[in-house]
Amino acid sequence: MRMFRQQLEEVGFAISHCGISESDIRALLEEIPQCDAPRSRAGIRHAMRHRAIARFAEDVRLLDLAREVLGPEAFPFRATLFDKSPVSNWLVAWHQDTALPLRERREVAGWGPWSVKDGVIYSHAPASALSQVLALRLHLDDSRAENGPLRVLPGTHILGVLTDAEMLRSATTTPSQECVVPAGGILAMRPLIVHASSKSRSAMPRRVLHIEYAARRSFEDLELAIA
C-alpha cells in the first residue's frame, strides 16, 4: 500500500491487483444489461444509478484503496462504464477530468463554467477540490496495446488545471505511458493527470468501470451529487 500511495503522489497513477476475481467480474457483467441508466454507444454515464454498480463501488477492496489515499471518509460519488469495441470505437484527445457533479448550482469563486448532463448539474472545479478526488478504473477485460488503452503523461497531475495549449505542450515534452492492465486489475489515477486513448485496433472488447471517490462530500458549500 505504501508503494501504491507513493506512486500516485509522484506520477499521478498506479496499478493495483486487489483481488477482484473472474467470478466477481462475471457476476457484475451479468447484472449490467439490466441497468436502466442512460446508455450510449460508448457505455453508461451516471452508472451509480444502477444498484449493482453502486454496490460494487462500495466493495471493501475498492474502498480500502480509495481510503488509503484520500482518508477514512472517502466514498464513491460517480461511476461510468466505458465499452470500447469494434462496433463502438473512439479516440480521446489529451485532457484532464475537471468537471464534478453537484447537487445545486451556487456561484463560488474558482468554479465553472457550469453545465447540465442527463439532468445532473456539473461545474469545472479548481485544483484544490480535484486534489481530493481519486478514480479507480476496474478493468472488466484485458487492456492491451492494441485495444485502445488509456495513455497518461506521468507527473502532470501536479501542474494544476491546464489550458488546452498547455496540455498539448506537455504532450510534446513529457513521454507518454500506456496503461496496460489485465482483467480484474485496478488503475488508480488522479483526475488532473493529462490522459488520452487511441482507437482500438483489435476485435477484443475493452470494458472499464471508472469509479470516482472523494475525500469529503462538499467543497466550499458545494455538495457532490451521486451520479
In a domain, 96, yes or no: yes
pLDDT of residue 113 exceeding 60, the answer is yes
In a domain, 88, yes or no: yes
> Of 82-91, 150-159, 176-185, which gets the smallest average pLDDT?
82-91
In a domain, 219, yes or no: no
What is the span of the domain harbouring residue 199? 2-213
In a domain, 21, yes or no: yes
Cell 497518461 -> residue:
152
pLDDT of residue 203 exceeding 60, the answer is yes
- Residue 188 is part of a domain; what is its CATH number? 2.60.120.620
Beta strands in 62-98 (DSSP E): 75-84, 92-95
pLDDT of residue 39 exceeding 60, the answer is no
Average pLDDT, the chain: 93
State mean pLDDT over 19-47: 81
CA distance 213 to 77: 6
In a domain, 165, yes or no: yes
pTM comes to 0.94
Residue 83, pLDDT score: 87
Helix or strand run (H / E) with residue 138 = strand 133-139
In a domain, 221, yes or no: no
Query: Among 140, 136, 135, which Cα is nearest to 23's?
Result: 140
Contact 64, 40 (CB under 8 A): no
> Of 14-18, 37-41, 155-159, which gets the smallest average pLDDT?
37-41
State mean pLDDT over 33-53: 76
In a domain, 42, yes or no: yes
Looking at per-residue pLDDT, the higher value among 22 and 206 belongs to: 22
CA distance 127 to 146: 33
pLDDT of residue 41 exceeding 80, the answer is no
pLDDT of residue 183 exceeding 80, the answer is yes
Q: What pLDDT digit, counting tens, does each position of 122-142 carry?
A: 999 999 999 999 999 999 999
How far CA 24 is from CA of 21, 29, 184, 187, 188, in Å, comes to 5, 9, 9, 17, 19
Residue 200, pLDDT score: 80
In a domain, 205, yes or no: yes
Q: How many distinct structural domains can be found in the chain?
A: 1
How far CA 100 is from CA of 6, 63, 66, 115, 194, in Å, comes to 25, 20, 17, 10, 17
**DSSP character for 130?**
H
State mean pLDDT over 84-99: 84
* Residue 92, phi then psi, degrees to nearest 5: -125, 125
Contact 186, 138 (CB under 8 A): yes
